[in-house]
Structure 1
Amino acid sequence: MIDTSGMQPWETCGLCHSLDGISRMPKFPKLAGQRPAYVIKQFRDFHSGTRENDGGQMQAITTEIDPNALPAIADYFARLAPPEPVSPSDAGSRPSAEQLFRQGRSGIPACLSCHGSTDPDVPLAPWLEAQHPEYLVKQLQDFRQGKRGNDPGGVMQTIASQLPEADIEPLAAYIAAQKRPERTP
């Protein structure tokens, strides 16, 4: 157990996700500028066991944070400036990656149709631009393999299962290299 006495609740999260919300390790997602409702949902899903991660770090840490502090934690990270795009790699320059992200293709909707929406009815899809590409790859693979299933209605599991394996890394690299537009959750 980490001694968090005297710390703001978001400082505990900052131990892994960084106080500026831009984690340095790809294992930990960047939370800066993220939708508050999404951060709260993921925390609750980890706490309930609906979502798991490798090693159980998040399940353990959720037991140390007062659930009443979740709105303050989520608002703190939401107010931070979003991360800068990751330097593009050759893998992300494939036209198919841009097409998948912006327009979708043959039965696969555009990533932006949910992940770029500011519609209050779609508050649980995270904003993806400028995220660690390795983190994005891992999440897509986990959805694809059924290791992650906390998406409403299994939408991401269905999409990831239809996404060709060869498109996952280029898509993640493309998304990570995009500047996140200013959005209001």
Structure 2
Amino acid sequence: MRNFVETHDGPLGSVSGRALLGRAIKGVMLAPILILGVTSASAETVDAARIVKDSCAACHTQSGNSVAPPFPKLAGMAPSYLAKQMRDVASGARKSDIMAPIMAEMERGEINALADYFARQPRTPGIVTHPDLVEEGERIYREGNKENGVPACAGCHTQDGGGAPRFPMIAAQNADYVVQQLKSFRDGERANDFGKLMRTVVSRLSEAEILAVAQYVASMPVPPAAR
């Protein structure tokens, strides 16, 4: 890094005085960089796979593809979304009796490492338990329901269910988990959605529509980026 203090006499005084000032400025400017470097290095050394094995795998499996219907698949989801959800659970913004004690023990670097770990895992195909509901679910997902003022789910979660930065990938997600979360939004038990969007939309869905959408979501092929 070049010293920005000039080497001739001037308003800042002698050469030696300016040199000392230059070194002081350099030290101040480098301090945040060094601190960030230490923080980054410590985050990079987090053994995410070990944390998953010890704290997450029982419900989500080591690959983040939960085989227990009430628990979500985390594999392939955007790391920024995953990290936000974990922070929300830790802060209480998202309620979870199971997750809250676990996340309360996590440091920020561990949360980020876990989010990156699960984001890199390939997602497995979903399981449809009520195939007779898939067609109706697809209609609602792609077109919405104009009579009830329900917009198409695809508007936020995209046509292939891959999601967007603020909206999660839901393709091939466990149907029971989708139903659970939609009802939680509807009943106000979950309130960490962006701009109250999910709470507003789901309040207009019937019970039958919620079940149908969940089955269609489970039937959706895994998006290429998450395979």
Q: TM-score range by the shorter chain?
A: 0.7 to 0.9
Instruction: Answer yes or no: is 1:100 the counterpart of 2:143.
Output: no
Quote how far apart the aligned CAs of 1:75 are: 1.2
Residues 1-185 of structure 1 mapped to structure 2, 5 A cutoff: 8-11=50-53, 12-53=55-96, 56-87=97-128, 89-94=130-135, 96-106=136-146, 107-116=149-158, 122-183=164-225
Please state whether the residue corresponding to 2:191 is helix, strand or coil.
coil
Higher relative contact order (CA 8 A, sep 6+): 1
After the TM superposition, list the runs of 4 or more consecutive aligned residues in structure 1 that deviate by more than 3 angstroms: none
Matches of 2:179 and 2:77 in 1, distance apart?
Answer: 18
Please state whether the residue corresponding to 2:192 is helix, strand or coil.
coil
Quote how far apart the aligned CAs of 1:85 are: 2.4
Tell me the TM-score normalised to structure 1 length: 0.85
Deviation string 1:134-176 (CA, Å, 9 cap, x unpaired) is 1000111111111111101110000000112221111101111
Identity of aligned residues (%): 38
Quote how far apart the aligned CAs of 1:116 are: 2.5
Question: What does residue 5 of structure 2 align with?
Answer: none
Matches of 2:155 and 2:49 in 1, distance apart?
Answer: 38
Quote how far apart the aligned CAs of 1:108 are: 1.7
Tell me the TM-score normalised to structure 2 length: 0.70
Matches of 1:183 and 1:92 in 2, distance apart?
Answer: 27
In angstroms, what is the RMSD of aligned CA positions?
Answer: 2.3
Matches of 1:131 and 1:29 in 2, distance apart?
Answer: 7
Q: Greater Rg, structure 1 or structure 2? A: 2
Unmatched segments (≥5 aa) in structure 2: 1-46
Contact in 2 for aligned 1:91/1:169 (Cα 8 Å): no
Please state whether the residue corresponding to 2:220 is helix, strand or coil.
coil
Bigger share in helix: 2
Unmatched segments (≥5 aa) in structure 1: none
